[in-house]
Structure formats: structure tokens, C-alpha cells
């Protein structure tokens, strides 16, 4: 006899819904850019289903790619004037530096926080502060290890400039790393973005630099771990 569907509102249905919610909470969704990287090894596992080592290799590769392209939900703080981390990772530098030359922002060093992302970190980038996109510049470059200081100037990069309602300008730089070969930026000039929203992704090891207006109070230190969209990097000068 066929099993009847569980009616909504029954204890069993409520329990299944609770389990489904727990699974959705424990397993973050996949960024769309990762779908081909997960689908390919899964296809290999299906084709090689009769060969244990092929099946296992395909499944492990698919799981690794799904973990790399995970896109967890984040809740940014609602305090006015704060700048959140654009990415997960480890703070590599807290200093002052001249912004990328291609932006034409001048030669005056500005406060900077540089975050290194290992292959184990979440690799989506999030908007550090609400504002309008005034400029996006892509520059070809090398693929040196992203944890080296010179990577900020030498490596392939994509820079987005944001302007807040108060007229403060910040630059966020996606920097390719030793293994990275693709920078994705979904934002466009003229877009109005909200703090914490996802706007891009770098594949397989990278670095993200944030340049702040002069007078910004930086609140992090080298070696600190950051959570993209949630960790407060700085407070803007009011």
C-alpha cells in the first residue's frame, strides 16, 4: 500500500520541517559561481559509479568545491558609521598606503586593512558600507602569493569605489592570489549597495584590501580573524 502524504500541521510534518530548517542552517547555500565546479565531479562520480575509487574521488571533489563556494547568511551591525569586513579571513596588514594608481585618488597614503583568504575561508566578498558605486577598475597583473605585501601592487585586481550618503569614499580591492585565476565582481557603476550584501567572489585563495578616508578609526589588528559582513573593521569620522 502506498504511504499517504503527511498532512500539514501534524506532529510528524512539524518535526520534518524542523529537521529541514536545521539542515538549511547547518549547511550554507552554494554561490551560483560554484555550480559548475560541483556539478563536474558529481558527473564523474555518476559515470564511474561502478568503480569505487572514481566514485569516491568525484564525491570528495564535489564536497570540497561545495565547501569552497559556500555562501552563508550574515547579519551586519546596524550602528551608523561602521565599516564591516568585506571578506572572511585573517587581517594581514593594518597600515596606511597609497590607493591603487589606476583610481587616480592621489599619492596621499590612506588607512588600509588587508585581509588574506586561505582556501578554507568563505570566498564571497561583501559590501563594507552602504553607498553608491562610483567606479570599478580591473587591472591585469601577476599571481604572486596573496599573503605577500607586494601582492597589493603586483597582482591582478579589481577595485570598487563606494561613496556613502555623507560623501565619504572607500575603495575595496579584490586581489588574485597564487592559485586564484578569476575575480568576479557583480556590482556596476551607479549601483546603490547595502552594507553586508554580497557583490563578488575570488576563486581559490586571495586577498581583499580596503582603503578608508583619512581620519577613519581602525578597530582591528594583524592576525585577527574576520567574518565577512559582520566584523567591524573601522568607524568613519563623523
Torsion over CA of 100, 85, 195 and 119, rounded to 10 degrees?
90
- Residues 223 and 91 sit within 8 Å (Cβ to Cβ): yes
Q: How far is residue 85's CA from residue 92's CA, in Å, rounded to a whole number?
A: 13
Question: What pairing do the DSSP bridges indicate for beta strands 217-218 and 232-235?
Answer: antiparallel
Give 98: exposed, middle or buried? Use CB within 10 Å, 0-12, 13-18, 19+: middle
Q: Residue 145 catalytic?
A: no
Q: Which of 85, 145, 206, 238 is catalytic?
A: 206
Q: What is the distance between the terminal CA atoms of the chain, rounded to a whole angstrom?
A: 70
Kindly list the catalytic residues: 206
Amino acid at each position: 500500500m502506498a504511504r499517504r502524504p503527511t498532512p500539514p500541521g501534524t506532529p510528524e510534518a512539524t518535526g520534518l520541517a524542523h529537521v529541514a530548517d536545521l539542515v538549511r542552517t547547518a549547511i550554507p547555500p552554494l554561490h551560483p559561481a560554484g555550480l559548475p565546479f560541483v556539478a563536474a565531479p558529481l558527473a564523474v562520480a555518476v559515470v564511474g559509479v561502478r568503480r569505487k575509487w572514481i566514485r569516491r574521488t568525484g564525491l570528495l571533489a564535489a564536497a570540497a568545491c561545495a565547501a569552497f563556494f559556500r555562501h552563508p547568511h550574515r547579519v551586519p551591525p546596524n550602528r551608523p558609521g561602521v565599516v564591516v569586513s568585506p571578506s572572511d579571513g585573517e587581517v594581514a596588514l593594518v597600515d596606511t598606503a597609497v590607493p591603487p594608481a589606476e583610481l587616480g585618488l592621489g599619492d596621499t597614503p590612506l588607512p588600509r586593512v588587508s585581509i588574506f583568504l586561505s582556501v578554507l575561508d568563505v570566498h564571497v566578498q561583501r559590501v563594507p558600507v552602504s553607498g553608491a558605486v562610483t567606479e570599478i577598475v580591473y587591472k591585469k597583473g601577476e599571481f604572486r602569493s596573496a599573503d605577500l605585501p607586494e601582492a597589493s601592487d603586483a597582482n591582478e585586481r579589481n577595485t570598487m569605489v563606494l561613496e556613502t550618503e555623507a560623501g565619504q569614499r572607500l575603495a575595496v580591492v579584490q586581489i588574485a592570489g597564487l592559485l586564484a585565476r578569476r575575480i568576479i565582481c557583480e556590482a556596476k557603476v551607479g549601483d546603490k549597495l547595502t552594507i553586508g550584501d554580497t557583490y563578488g567572489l575570488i576563486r581559490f585563495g586571495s586577498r581583499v584590501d580596503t582603503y578608508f578616508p583619512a581620519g577613519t578609526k581602525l578597530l582591528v589588528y594583524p592576525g585577527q580573524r574576520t567574518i565577512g559582513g559582520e566584523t567591524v573593521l573601522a568607524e568613519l569620522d563623523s
